[in-house]
Structure 1
Amino acid sequence: MNPDRPRASSASEYRRIVVCADDFGMNAAVDAGILRLADLGRLSATSLLVDGPAAQRDLPTLLDTRLQIGLHLNLTESFGQPGLCLPLKSLIQAAYLRRLSLDQVRDSIGRQLDRFQALTGRRPDYVDGHQHVHQLPGVRDLLLAALGGDDAVKPWIRDTGRPRLAGLPWRLRLKARVIAGLGAAGLRRRARAVGFSQNSGFLGVYDFKGGIPAYEAWMSCWLSRARDGDVLMCHPAWGVDPQDALTSQRQAEYAVLAGASMARWLADHHLTIAGADPRKESS
């Protein structure tokens, strides 16, 4: 599945969007939510934290799904893994002040790609970043280099730029623009120059607040603005993890993604989830 597809030629045609669940492997509740949504045909892909404590246990079930599996490059979340790991603010500052150790970044990228291969038996279908670190200066060039030369089969790379913002409140528009402004344009230029494809637009940025009512409102808005080849990022979970600060909102995301309203919005806006099995419906 390449998200960078031609546009639908008429309003009556269904446009394909990539619904991507981040953080597979973070904990059992996250993995359960993603696997349930995969069974319902509500996801296209999931991004794997290779060092996550639940990753190895739940991978056999994930590999039996039809989801694309990407590397969720992690430089900020500590799971006791070796190598570079900084708080997000510190990582951003170091990247923009050119104070990152490029050797440490290179080693971390290489180790995570090697572990992805060891866990899944294949290269990632795509690559993105936990907290969008894949687009930062000092990270993006080393990442593209590690993913292969001219002869390699290239994964697609998440582009956080070109967010669909119409209809959203100012605070969400601002957050989406800040994320994009941290390196999306630079990554896009470099990725395209060496033959990597990317998604057309980006959806799913919000403040992780408000429970089901807020997420329903944002989802309805995102889907009304979605275009062919867009990526919609989500962070669902099924069940509670007391160590996860986002556990309640993750459950709200799961409820909306699995619910009847999601099916209705997709139909109303002539959208289909790329890679989803249309024979499976939510109850």
Structure 2
Amino acid sequence: MTKRLTLCADDFAQSGSISAGILQLIDAGRLSATSVLSQSPHWPELAGELKARANRVDVGLHFNLTHAFGAPAKPLSHWLMKSQLRQLSQPTLRDEMLAQIDRFAEHFGRLPDFVDGHQHVHALPVIRDALFDAIQHRWPEDRLPYLRAPDKLGHPGDNRLKSLILRSVCTNFDEQAQQRGFATTPWFGGMYSLTPQADFAGLMQSWLARSPNHALIMCHPGLPGQDADDPIAACRSREYDYLASDAFAELCQRHQISLTRFQPETVAA
């Protein structure tokens, strides 16, 4: 039986080399979604290339609060602490979310298919409420975007502590999103240490073996570049090389995986 899987490349538009790698993998049929950092100065020039491929992949917003694009940004630790203490301004976060949604739509010509978050910030307490509010301001009620649910993480990758922390800080996101009428990804994979020593190929084998139908796996591929602000630059070309390889295609065939755009199981064909 064929298993439908959405393989999503995060960080489109972060840099030219990352984006070029993602576009090449889309062309090769090795991705079925990508999420965009719409604050990036590269987004206006790259939007057209991605739009030309939008019939093949879901294109979403990668909501960002931690990567600086010419303006001050705060580290993930700040958002983790302040969200757990409920010391964040929901209206301020909603306005930031609306600004990133609008910049996406300005250059892409329509709203995103889905929303996720850079370092999963979209699912943190208070920030998630700002997300729900912002979406209600922009989307018709009958055409809501789907949401990535990090609390549905189904495999710890190579770092159990990291995965435990993620599930803990994002507790109940999936339930709260569904209560508001959102489709959410029922199983999430792709979490790992993002170090050059990590066995990405081996991890992908585990994720594909464990993932159920309609799962979503994130990845972070890219071509080699000179992005000094990218802390995981060394991992990107390794991910790209594996996803572009015959070995990955054979792995998908062995597990009867079909890389498809996300479709909630309740309405799946």
* TM-score between both structures, scaled by the size of structure 1: 0.86
The residue type paired with residue 175 of structure 1 is K
- Correspondence 1:154 to 2:141: no
1:100–1:138 contact (8 Å) kept in structure 2:
yes
Which 4+ runs in 1 deviate beyond 6 A?
A: none
1:27–1:241 contact (8 Å) kept in structure 2:
no
Q: Which runs of 5+ in 1 are unaligned?
A: 1-12, 277-283
Which residue of structure 2 lines up, in the alignment, with residue 43 of structure 1?
Answer: 31
The residue type paired with residue 18 of structure 2 is V
Q: 154, 159, 165: which one pairs with 2:155?
A: 165
Check 1:147–1:137 CA distance in 2 against 1; reply closer, same or farther (3 A cut). same
1:44–1:68 contact (8 Å) kept in structure 2:
yes
Report the Cα offset of residue 126 of structure 1: 0.3
Structure 2 CA distance for aligned equivalents of residues 194 and 31 of structure 1: 33
Structure 1 CA distance for aligned equivalents of residues 73 and 227 of structure 2: 23
Alignment coverage as a number of residue pairs: 257
Instruction: Report 1:135-150 matches (<5 A).
Output: 135-148=123-136
Structure 1 CA distance for aligned equivalents of residues 78 and 162 of structure 2: 18
Which residue of structure 1 lines up, in the alignment, with residue 254 of structure 2?
Answer: 268
Which residue of structure 2 lines up, in the alignment, with residue 133 of structure 1?
Answer: 121
Which is worse superposed, 103-112 or 37-46? 103-112
Q: 201, 215, 226: which one pairs with 1:230?
A: 215
2:4–2:258 contact (8 Å) kept in structure 1:
yes
Which residue of structure 1 lines up, in the alignment, with residue 187 of structure 2?
Answer: 201
Structure 2 CA distance for aligned equivalents of residues 36 and 22 of structure 1: 14
Report the Cα offset of residue 114 of structure 1: 1.1
Paired-residue identity, %: 34
Secondary structure of 1:224's match?
Answer: helix
- Correspondence 1:19 to 2:7: yes
Deviations 1:130-163 (CA, angstroms, capped at 9, x unpaired): 0000011111112112112773410000011232
2:84–2:169 contact (8 Å) kept in structure 1:
no
RMSD of equivalent CA atoms:
1.8
- Correspondence 1:79 to 2:69: yes
Which is worse superposed, 72-81 or 240-249? 240-249
Which residue of structure 2 lines up, in the alignment, with residue 107 of structure 1?
Answer: 95
Bigger relative contact order, structure 1 or 2, given CA contacts below 8 A and separation 6+? 1
The residue type paired with residue 43 of structure 1 is L
Deviations 1:5-35 (CA, angstroms, capped at 9, x unpaired): xxxxxxxx10100000000110011101100
Structure 2 CA distance for aligned equivalents of residues 198 and 205 of structure 1: 17
Secondary structure of 1:231's match?
Answer: strand
Q: Which runs of 5+ in 2 are unaligned?
A: 263-269
Deviations 1:221-258 (CA, angstroms, capped at 9, x unpaired): 11111111111100000122241232221000000111
* TM-score between both structures, scaled by the size of structure 2: 0.90
2:151–2:172 contact (8 Å) kept in structure 1:
no
Check 1:135–1:255 CA distance in 2 against 1; reply closer, same or farther (3 A cut). same
Structure 1 CA distance for aligned equivalents of residues 125 and 65 of structure 2: 13
Which residue of structure 1 lines up, in the alignment, with residue 165 of structure 2?
Answer: 178
Which residue of structure 2 lines up, in the alignment, with residue 252 of structure 1?
Answer: 238
Report the Cα offset of residue 210 of structure 1: 3.4
Q: 44, 47, 51: which one pairs with 1:56?
A: 44
2:64–2:117 contact (8 Å) kept in structure 1:
yes
